Structure 1
Amino acid sequence: GQYDYILINDTVEKTVRRLGQIIHGNRYSRNSMRAFLESYIESELAPQSDLADEILSIGRD
């Protein structure tokens, strides 16, 4: 319940390959992309916080 993945270190090669697959899969997941975009929008539009709030609220409906 505390972990999203379990890696069994049977051989280094298999474990590294599995870890790479996990990283690659999560890099393009919807939640990861959403967090990245929210962070980017907030940092780029900080001086115009009303505009940032408006853009971020679009996907929350």
Structure 2
Amino acid sequence: MVNIPKTRNTYCKGLKCRKHTPHKVTQYKAGKASLFAQGKRRYDRKQSGYGGQTKPVFHKKVNANK
């Protein structure tokens, strides 16, 4: 994971503030994917049986540090 500052100086729009003050920031992670979401149910149904991979799988990952 990349080191990111824990606070960020940004505008506070409260009636008493109305100026730039330090705000705490956090990184969010993706939640656990549900097996019963409509897209997942559709994908599983499409994948079942013969016929191999039915949706495109991205393989062209670019290396950003040259």
Q: TM-score range by the shorter chain?
A: under 0.3
Q: TM-score with structure 2 length normalisation?
A: 0.25
Larger relative contact order (C-alpha < 8 A, sep ≥ 6)? 2
Q: Pick the structure with more helix per residue.
A: 1
Q: Which structure would you say has the larger Rg? A: 2
Q: TM-score with structure 1 length normalisation?
A: 0.26
Q: Pick the structure with more strand per residue.
A: 2
